Copies of this chain bind each other. A is one copy, B any other.
Amino acid sequence: MAYDLNKFFKAISDPNRVKIMELLKDKELNVSEICQHFDMQQPSVSHHLSVLKNADIVSSAKRGKEVYYRLDSICITNCCNGFQEQFVEIEKLK
């Protein structure tokens, strides 16, 4: 089944989720580490992580008790480029 661009944009149109993505920009973090950067409770962070994961923006790996999340930057590139190409003439995209 095709990737749902709408799901991607819904996922990134929340400031807390974008902040999570920024935290994961160049390092993996587990849920507790992510929580330390927010006032939200842990289940709320887990919810945002599940939205991001469901859109393939992050992936996760369990190691011991912790679950580590990482950013999938290829997905961001593909979605942003794909969306642009839907609306902007290719030659305008330098």
Contact = CB atoms under 8 A, between A and B. Distances in A.
Interface residues of A, number: 25
Please tell me how many copies of the chain the complex holds: 2
Interface string A32-65: 0000000000000000000000000000000000
A77 B73 contact: no
Contacts of A86: 22
A24 to B, nearest CB: 9
A87 interface: yes
Contacts of A25: 87
A88 B72 CA distance: 10
B9 A9 contact: yes
A67 interface: no
